[in-house]
A and B are shown apart, each in its own frame.
Chain A
Amino acid sequence: MDKKEYNDLVTSKSKNPNILEDAFISFLAGGVLGAFYEILTCWYIEMFNLTDQIALGWSCLTFIAIAVILTGFAVFDDIVAKFKFGVIIPITGFAHSVASALIDYRRDGFITGLGANMFKLAGSVILFGSVSAFLFAIVKVIIYG
């Protein structure tokens, strides 16, 4: 069997048989999370008389705090196992990646461990997030002036 034939065989055998199911679960979980986010924001606006912008920030911080605490208590992994990428793609996944790197490298020193590895996964999100925000802002300026 030559390499190409073997690679084709491997590709055909390595497919996730539940890909549609997983995608559906992620879609639902992500949607539910988004709905909660909206409810929370509305609640903040009502309760504390905040503006939209500030309330959104507060909800964001709440979600980050919850994700970090759940990561610390090793519950987040089980949630991911159930709800797949529905909880990884939103801000909760970002918070989880930072918190898990911090837990992981806590014994490796402040500079070489915590400092160097805190954004091991999150760093690319920050970098490419900023770059794409900049590009979209330019597009917006060009179109809407």
Chain B
Amino acid sequence: MASFKFKNVYLGDTSTISGVNEKINTKFSISDYFDGEKTSEDAEVKMQKIVLKDISKKNKIDVMLSADLSNQTGISNKAASEFPNSHLGLYSACASFAEGLIVAGSLIGSAQNVQNACVTVSSHNLSAERTFRYPIEYGSPRRVTQNFTATGAAAAIVTKDPTNIKIESCTIGKVTDYGIKDANNMGAIMAPSAARTIIEHLNDTKRSANYYDLILTGDLGTLGSELMMTLLEKNDITLKNHIDAGAELIVDKKLTDQGASGPVCLPLYFIEKVLKEKKYKRILIVGTGALQNQTLVNQKNTLPSVSHAVSIEVI
């Protein structure tokens, strides 16, 4: 059983921070990639701390769940060490925010004494480049299929207290491997799992794609979105109301043809654009994650991906 419904789980306060290349207005922003710190990793830790401090001012946090792209989620752990809350580290690459909402929602539903859970995700362009690609300063020309990791952090409270944003149901994705070996083509890696999760969610909940006012995917990019559409059309599903957060977040053609990637894309766009616009009532957010591991990539393995879907109702 991959899909289930939540009872009385709501999305509370949010806090966001973003870098210079992201075309979005966030609560906080950093002036450059380092923001006064010595390394990009320190800057990413600082971003997580800023959003966590901001959110813990107004809310009592019972458990924190955080995710990022660094090895062994070092950045989340470093940031969490500064807070007195219980902490769960998560990783499903760029699908982490959706995973966080699912785990937080389940915790709140099952544990009596968990009132508020805080889901935090972050990514930093330079830290990600260093983890997954060349030395960061190595200016090799970017491929047409390559995404550009977004810089930023986002924290959201998942709570029992009723608010006007309800987390209604979710679908936990299945890890999908369609035999793509090119780590620079993340859209192609993630598209099959995104399509699979959407199909399963619609089947399990017996809804049609038109039930949702908006289907928001994480960071498929323009090519990934196109591939996902093709895959869905083979299954007789046409999405008219689809937006890809990554493709909308970075539109600078000098940086990338595809758009942004990273776990922070989805929450940044969702919190700062979709929720603020108040245009959509029923929203399906689909976090899409390419599960790469540098050692496995170098050993010429095919790359799997996972996507998790969370259905959200704005009341």
Contacts and interface: CB of A to CB of B under 8 A. Distances in A.
A20 interface: no
A71 interface: yes
Q: What are the 8 closest A-B residue pairs judged by CB atoms, nearest first?
A: A77-B139, A100-B137, A104-B135, A80-B139, A10-B188, A100-B138, A101-B135, A3-B179
Interface in A17-36: 17, 22
Given A6-B178, A104-B130, A121 B135 contact: yes
A26 to B, nearest CB: 9
B144 A1 contact: no
A104 B144 contact: no
Contact of A10 (B38, B227, B254): B227
Nearest to B138: A100
A103 B137 contact: yes
Contacts of B188: 10, 13-14
Nearest to A99: B137
Nearest to B255: A81
Interface residues of A, number: 36
Interface residues of B, number: 28
24 contacts: A1-B230, A1-B234, A6-B178, A6-B192, A6-B231, A7-B179, A9-B227, A10-B180, A13-B223, A14-B145, A16-B144, A22-B141, A71-B137, A80-B140, A84-B141, A88-B141, A97-B135, A97-B138, A101-B135, A101-B137, A101-B138, A104-B130, A121-B135, A121-B138
A119 to B, nearest CB: 11
B60 interface: no
Interface in B128-186: 130, 134-141, 143-145, 178-180, 182, 185
Interface of A is mostly: helix
A107 B138 contact: no
Contacts of A71: 137
B204 interface: no
B86 interface: no
A15 B188 CA distance: 13
B56 interface: no
Most central of A1, A7, A74, A76 by chain B CB within 10 Å: A1
Contact of A104 (B137, B231, B234): B137
Contacts of A10: 180, 185, 188, 227
A59 interface: no
